[in-house]
Amino acid sequence: MSLRPELSQAAVPLIEEVEVVDEQGRVRSAFLPGERPLTVYLDKRELVTLMTLGGAPEALVLGYLRNQRLVESIEDIAAIQVDWETESAAVTTRGGVDRIEERTARKIVTTGCGQGTVFGSLLDEVDQIRLPDDAVLDQQTLYSIVDTIRLQQSVYKQAGSVHGCALFQGRELLMFIEDVGRHNAVDAIAGRMWLEGMDGADKVFYTTGRLTSEMVIKGAQMGIPFLLSRSGVTQMGYQMAKRVNMTLFARCTGKHFLLYTGRQRFRHSEPQAAVA
């Protein structure tokens, strides 16, 4: 049996109720999503501060380490302990991290909400990623995914100001996580996948946020061939999707979508006959 890290259970309430005054002078309640700094320490070395909703902090840290390729195997992590009093996450490895100074020396600030970062060396490793060519997504499954997200209960519907990410296998929703920035939500799902030993080859990833190069890289790191969004695509996100051979959909609302890359994996429905 593989070794699993010891994890704290430090999830915090996601929303706070406050008093506001509306345009007609009426006092009423409104909800605010949480936003908390979480500084990650890797073997007592300060690594990064993440601004997070705080709903899945251990999974967020796990996914961040995975998607940055700072830790090769989950068995290398002994423990992750989150302490909100000190706003810190202490990661302890079993044998240290090789060349940690060199691998974290160059940071790139991304376009993610709350300013995501990737370490520069990660971009040099993108061409090593191989996504499965035989994965298939059909049009009706895509519509089902979009509709499932539309009906999903969420912090966004109560308070706004957050992004959501979801993992699907076919039409089945496996995970749904919201956070202040979409890069955090995708990292948290990556962390849960890593913890459960879940492969991405037959999965579909959905995000409410725009598809930037960072989002494409993270999806590719997780081995997921399909990335969907209700928002748009940046030029670098498009180029990166072509580079890693990912199937990329944007503007997915109702029955509308735009397929940008990886067309060979998509199966259109048979066109319906015109009504006389």
Residue from 166, 144, 143 nearest 153 by CA: 166
What is the b/e burial string over 83-114, where b = at least 16 CB atoms within 10 angstroms of the residue's CB? eeeeebbbbebeeebeeeeebbeeeeebbbbe
State the pLDDT at residue 94. 92
The ranges assigned to domains in the chain are 4-119, 135-265
* pLDDT(162) > 80: yes
Compute the average pLDDT of residues 101-113. 54
Question: How would you list the strands of the sheet with 226-229, edge to edge?
Answer: 172-179, 163-169, 204-207, 226-229, 247-253, 256-261
pLDDT confidence bin for 125, thresholds 50/70/90: confident
* The one catalytic residue among 91, 113, 215, 259: 113
Fold of 135-265: Cytidine Deaminase; domain 2 (3.40.140)
pTM of the model: 0.84
State the pLDDT at residue 161. 73
Q: Which runs of E-coded beta strand occur in 156-268?
A: 163-169, 172-179, 204-207, 226-229, 247-253, 256-261, 266-267
What is the b/e burial string over 234-266, where b = at least 16 CB atoms within 10 angstroms of the residue's CB? bebbbebbebbbbbbbbebeeeebebbbbeebb
What is the b/e burial string over 46-65, where b = at least 16 CB atoms within 10 angstroms of the residue's CB? ebbebbbbbbbbbbbbbbbb
Any catalytic annotation for residue 113? Answer: yes
Percent of the chain whose pLDDT exceeds 90 = 66
- Ranges 76-90, 92-106, 150-164: which has the least confidence: 92-106
SS3 44: coil
Cα separation, 33 vs 73, whole angstroms: 33
State the pLDDT at residue 270. 61
SS3 60: helix
Compute the average pLDDT of residues 97-105. 69
* pLDDT(107) > 90: no
pLDDT confidence bin for 141, thresholds 50/70/90: very high
State the pLDDT at residue 104. 66
Tens of pLDDT, residues 22-58: 889 999 999 999 899 999 999 999 989 999 999 999 9
Question: Beta strand 15-21 with 27-33: parallel, antiparallel or unpaired?
Answer: antiparallel
Question: Beta strand 266-267 with 137-138: parallel, antiparallel or unpaired?
Answer: parallel
Compute the average pLDDT of residues 156-184. 89
4-119 CATH: 3.10.20.10
Compute the average pLDDT of residues 170-188. 92
- Judge contact between 40 and 52, C-beta under 8 A: no
Q: Identify the helix (H) or strand (E) that includes residue 106.
A: none
C-alpha 201, offset from chain centre: 16
State the pLDDT at residue 274. 45
First-to-last alpha carbon distance for the chain, in angstroms, is 63
Which position has the higher pLDDT, 203 or 128?
203
- Ranges 148-162, 203-217, 247-261: which has the least confidence: 148-162
* pLDDT(193) > 80: yes
State the pLDDT at residue 275. 43
- Judge contact between 191 and 60, C-beta under 8 A: yes
* pLDDT(113) > 80: no
SS3 16: strand
